[in-house]
Amino acid sequence: MPSSPEVLALIPARGGSKSIPRKNILPFAGHPLIAWSIAAGRAAQSVTRVIVSTDYEEIAAVAREYGAETPFMRPAEHSQDNTTDLPVFQHALGWLAEHENYTPDIVVQLRPTSPFRRLWHIDQAVQALVARPEADCCRTVIVPFQNPFKMWTIDPTGRLQALMQNTGFAEPYNQPRQALPDVYWQTGYVDAVWARTILEKNSMTGDQILPLVIDPGDWVDIDSPDDWQRAERLFTEGVVSEADLGYRVTKA
C-alpha cells in the first residue's frame, strides 16, 4: 500500500440528459453545474488528478475551462440512458493504462449532480479506504428521512405487502422507529474505490463497503427542475455558501 496513493477523481458527464437537457453545463449559482464537482476534486488534498468522462464536446470544453482534463471522449456505447457506472469507469481506466501507462490506486467518483458536496467528504472517504486496505470501497451515506421497514409494495391483487420481509421482527411496520435497526441511504456524493475493485472484481463497490456517514442536511441531489430550483435557492438565500463547501469555483 503506497504511503501517498495516486487518486483519480473521475466525473461522469454524458450529454444526453432527459430530465434537464444539457444540465451538466447549465449555469448553477453562477457557474456550470459540472464546475462545482471539478472544483471540489481540484481542491481535495487527497486527489492527484481530475478527469471528466463525456461523450459531448461542449461538456469537455467547459470541463477544461474549469481545470479538468479530458484526455479521451467516451464512446457512444457507454453513453446510453441505461449505461451503468461500471463500463464508464472500466473504459476510462483501460484508456489511461493503454495510452498513458497511467494506473491510479484509487478512483473517486464525483457525480456532477451533487454541487453541495463538502471538501471533507472526498478527503475522508479516501482516508477511510487507505486506512482499511482490505475494503473494496467507501461511499457516503445518510440516515434516511423514511425507514424502509415501514415501506410497502402493492401486489397484483391490490393489497399492501411489506417491503422488508423475513426481518426477524414481528410486524416491523407497526414498531416504533426507535425499535427498528439503523438504516442508511447512499447519497452518491462520493464513491472512493480501489482501481483493482473495478478492474478485477468488475464492480464499483466490491463486497466490503465502508460507510462515510454525513449530515442529511448536507445532501441535495439534482435530478429534476424542482431539485435545481430548490438547490439554487439555498445558495441565493445564503443557506449554503462556498465557505461551507470548503472550496471556491474558479476557472483554470
Residues 111 and 191: their CA atoms lie apart, in Å, by 9
Q: Are residues 118 and 85 in the same domain?
A: yes
Q: Are 236 and 29 in contact (CB under 8 A)?
A: yes
CATH code at position 16: 3.90.550.10
Mean pLDDT score of the chain, rounded to an integer?
93
As for how many domains the chain has, the answer is 2
Q: Are residues 130 and 70 in the same domain?
A: yes
Domain coverage including residue 232: 7-140+185-245
Residues 144 and 2: their CA atoms lie apart, in Å, by 35
Q: Are residues 49 and 74 in the same domain?
A: yes
Q: Are residues 133 and 27 in the same domain?
A: yes
Q: Are residues 62 and 174 in the same domain?
A: no
Asked if residue 235 belongs to a domain, the reply is yes
Q: pTM of the predicted model, to two decimals?
A: 0.93
Question: Measured on CA atoms in the order 126, 132, 217, 228, is the torsion positive or negative?
Answer: positive
Q: Are residues 97 and 54 in the same domain?
A: yes
For 189-216, the pLDDT digits (tens) are 999 999 999 999 999 999 999 999 999 8
Q: Are residues 149 and 27 in the same domain?
A: no
**Distance (Å) of CA 1 to CA 5, 62, 130, 194:** 8, 35, 8, 11
Q: Are residues 12 and 58 in the same domain?
A: yes
Q: Are 18 and 118 in contact (CB under 8 A)?
A: no
Residue among 60, 57, 63 at smallest CA distance from 36: 63
Residues 133 and 54: their CA atoms lie apart, in Å, by 30
For 46-71, the pLDDT digits (tens) are 999 999 999 999 999 999 999 999 99
Q: Are residues 153 and 199 in the same domain?
A: no
Q: What is the dihedral of CA 90, 10, 49, 227, to 10 degrees?
A: 180
For 71-130, the pLDDT digits (tens) are 999 998 888 878 899 999 999 999 999 999 999 999 999 999 999 999 999 999 999 999
Asked if residue 251 belongs to a domain, the reply is no
Q: Are residues 84 and 168 in the same domain?
A: no
Asked if residue 1 belongs to a domain, the reply is no
